[in-house]
Structure 1
Amino acid sequence: MTRRPERLLSSAIFAAALIAATPFGAAAESDDSAFFRQVAGKWSGHGKIVEGKMKGTRFRCKLDGLPIEGEHQGFKLDGKCRAGLFSHPMTAVFIREDDGYRGHFLDGEDGDGLAVTGGSVEDGRAVIALRRKDVEGALVTSLVGAEDLDITLLIKGGTRYVPVIGLSLKRQTDPLAVGAVK
């Protein structure tokens, strides 16, 4: 089965975008909740494919981060990523459960997306395990201050993980600051 390059690109870009929703405190519920609130809001930034057939391709994403509350806490990421003439809607859901994480990018592993199969937090960064059929991968993210997210998508090649996509997002703030004087 031949897949169109823009479909592969959008799946990969979307996977990278989801990492922005990854919690830093997997073991502690309050840490997860705090991170979900910290990454809520509007984000945009540039990325680049650093390995594979589309190496060197640049793209730009605009994403809205929304915490999920209720029985299970988590995060939803919605928006679009554009590479050249191609624009693709992005949707990701990341949910914390008692024994780990579950979620999906686009329509999950059975469609054109990826499945979240687990995760861990170590040394100030979150690593989320991904799967698509027989391909394993990971998303690694770091919240750098309150305004920057650095994201890397890695694919397992043999015995090591190879960086495939890098994405840097900046928080979008309202240009009109409103305040009060005492």
Structure 2
Amino acid sequence: MSTAALFAALICASAQSATANDRADRDFFNDVAGKWSGPGEIVEGKMKGTRFRCELDGLPLEDGGTGFRLDGRCRTGMFSHPVTAVFIREGDTYRGQFLDGSEGEGLDVTDGVIEDGKAVIQLKRDKVTGALVANLLDAENFNITLLIKGGTRFVPVIGLSLKRETDALAVGAIK
């Protein structure tokens, strides 16, 4: 299933009970907690083909609300750029921002849905509409795709393939 089709299917999916949504949200937010790193690529636009590497921390919200925050840096060559995404559940809707929101150089979170280990987060900046698809493949692999609406379809613009960083634990015996 293409990312655009997944986006449409998740957004159009019928609403589950509030309790099931709360549980799915909390489970997803807990599962993305931790340190993540991996490669990414700009797959569309004037910088198409640019490869980069990101190191991100999945963090709980500072005020204890329902949601998550990804903070870190992405670098290509000698250049490094801070990256932040905040996704907050408020009742039956979501809010937050990608980068510094539409007031800066980023986008605002206007809605979203979480289902089966995937968060599809709707983004907006002026007349630009997009989505951030955060797909937790398993406990160790996390893919993020940024899509922008072009005409009648969503076009992938940036893709990330992250792996969970774990502390190396040496196990052995001393004789």
C-alpha distance in 2 between matches for 1:83 and 1:93: 23
| TM-score using structure 1 length | 0.78
1:74 aligns with 2:53: no
1:151 aligns with 2:110: no
| TM-score using structure 2 length | 0.81
Q: Which of 101, 121, 137 is 1:108 aligned to?
A: 101
C-alpha distance in 2 between matches for 1:145 and 1:112: 31
C-alpha distance in 2 between matches for 1:76 and 1:126: 13
Tell which deviates more after alignment, 40-49 or 29-38: 29-38
C-alpha distance in 1 between matches for 2:70 and 2:116: 24
| Structure 1: 4+ residue segments shifted above 3 A | 121-124
The aligned amino acid for 1:68 is L
The aligned amino acid for 1:96 is R
1:93 aligns with 2:106: no
Q: Any residues of structure 2 matched to 1:59-70 within 5 Å, and which?
A: 59-68=52-61, 70=63
Tell which deviates more after alignment, 131-140 or 63-72: 63-72
Specify whether residues 160 and 109 from structure 1 end up closer, same or farther in structure 2 by C-alpha distance, changes over 3 A only. same
C-alpha distance in 2 between matches for 1:141 and 1:93: 12
Q: Which has the larger radius of gyration?
A: 2
- Number of residue pairs the alignment of both structures matches: 155
Q: Which has the higher contact order (CA 8 A, sep 6+)?
A: 1
Q: Which of 47, 58, 75 is 2:51 aligned to?
A: 58
Determine helix, strand or coil for the equivalent of 1:120. strand
Specify whether residues 145 and 30 from structure 1 end up closer, same or farther in structure 2 by C-alpha distance, changes over 3 A only. same
Gaps of 5+ in 2: 1-15
Deviation, 1:69, is 6.4
Q: What's the C-alpha RMSD, in Å, of the aligned pairs?
A: 2.1
